[in-house]
Amino acid sequence: MTRVADMTPQELAEASACAMWNDDSASQQLGMTLDHIAPGRATLSMTITAAMSNGHGNCHGGYLFTLADSAFAFACNSYNTMTVAQHCSITYLIPGRIGDRMTATATEVSRRGRSGLYDIRVTNQHGDTVAEFRGHSRTVKGTHLPVHD
């Protein structure tokens, strides 16, 4: 087993994501897939099902928020430091439809001290932007991988 101290940033991001994914029942049960991980970046996707529809026959905004929030979580936890959401906001631009394949791409904007700022774009299978999400993160005690010298 490679020591955490000997891992490249990409290896650390992948190992941290694997550790998180194994305990992430919410993302798994909603049918999300982790499509890409890198330091400060993550891409997750899911298909909108009829069970995710609202009274207008569109995707309920809470599911779009959850997809974006999951991408945010994987991006800000890619450094093997336990990190949580401190504040999040979302702007819905167009409705998601049943059967759409939604992709949330998280990008780190800033990471200083214990605080981070991330932008997450949610797009459909046509590349149309469905929602824009901004997440503020805060690191807490703990790591995803054991750190031994």
Report the CATH number of the 8-139 domain.
3.10.129.10
* Cβ within 8 Å of residue 51, ≥6 positions away: none
**Torsion angle defined by CA atoms of residues 44, 49, 51 and 55, in that order, rounded to the nearest 10 degrees:** 100
pLDDT tens by residue, the chain, 149 residues: 578 888 899 999 999 999 999 999 999 999 999 999 999 999 999 999 999 999 999 999 999 999 999 999 999 999 999 999 999 999 999 999 999 999 999 999 999 999 999 999 999 999 999 999 999 999 999 988 887 65
- Domains of the chain by residue range: 8-139
Provide the whole-model pTM.
Answer: 0.94
How many angstroms separate the CA atoms of 118 and 140, rounded?
17
Region class of 69: left (phi > 0), else alpha (psi between -120 and 50), else beta = alpha
Helix (H, G, I), strand (E, B) or coil at 108: strand
